[in-house]
Amino acid sequence: MSGSSSSTSSSRFLKIGMVGFGNFGQFLANTMIKQGHTITATSQSDYSQLCAQLGILFFGDMEAFLGEDNDVILLCTSIVSLSKVLKSMPFHCLKRPTFFVDVLSVKEHPRDVLLQVLPEESDVLCTHPMFGPESGKNGWKDLRFMYDRVRIKDETICSSFLQIFEREGCKMLEMTCEEHDKQASKSQFLSHVIGRALAEMDIKSTSIDTKNFQTLVQLKENIMRNSFDLFSGLFSHNKFAKQELENLELALGKVKQALLQSMNEEQD
């Protein structure tokens, strides 16, 4: 399902606390700051100098970070570290019911962990911006933003957060976490598998590239800009991914069989 997410609520500036401030967190923060939202951040690595340059308050201590009374806690960790990070968070430091949002590339896994670990009074919005620092470097217009209102009581904060992406022109796609993972296993995960397979083959541009081959080289280069942790998480935390990998192996086998059969028929 798609469409406007916030037509019934007015927007407001938010105080957004980011957990994880790597490339993707920095990418999101730049646009959020531009829109007038206030950002605080915490991360395993020390980003205090970068945050100071951006006007972001950085916390090395999680207790102090949670005590900052943020409207939204935005989880920008890796897929594989989410559970560990959440289970180590001292939620007793929260001053009020807090709105939690994740931006991971799989959705059922964070939904389940968030519902299991967070205080019951915390709202949960699961999202996946279907773009990143490379594809979104010239703006977010017409790029897809998926979301699932998992547990929402504060519609004003939910609306204000979603409007961050609406204002930038994103195509807003509301769907369940399960439906997202089912579709992503056939699109995002397969793209990563093929891109990494091409990297293992060490394909490179030649002097006689066709357009199709140039597309393959570009796919390989785009995929290899992503961490192996992301690739691993797309596989291990999406229940549909294993079947798609098996389907790909089966399809390659069928293609090989068809070629060998055709060659044998020519020789007869």
Q: Distance from CA of residue 97 to its chain's centroid?
A: 24
Answer yes or no: is pLDDT of 54 > 90. yes
CATH 3.40.50.720 fits 15-175, yes or no: yes
What pLDDT is attached to residue 268? 79
pLDDT at 8: 44
Is residue 140 a contact partner of residue 31, using CB atoms and an 8 Å limit? yes
- pLDDT one-digit tens code per residue, 139-158: 999 999 999 999 999 999 99
User: What is the per-residue pLDDT for 7?
Assistant: 44
Q: How far apart are CA 239 and CA 124, in angstroms?
A: 21
CA distance 87 to 202: 40
> For 44-53, b where at least 16 C-beta lie within 10 A, e where not — what string?
eeebbeebee
HSE toward the beta carbon, residue 55, CA cutoff 13 A: 10
| Residue range 223-228: mean pLDDT, rounded | 94
Q: Give me the chain's average pLDDT, please.
A: 95
Residue-wise pLDDT tens digits, 90-149: 999 999 999 999 999 999 999 999 999 999 999 999 999 999 998 999 999 999 999 999
Residue ranges of the chain that CATH labels 3.40.50.720 = 15-175
Global pTM? 0.92
Examine the pLDDT at 173 and tell me if it is beyond 80.
yes
Q: How many CA atoms lie within 13 A of 184 on its CB side?
A: 26
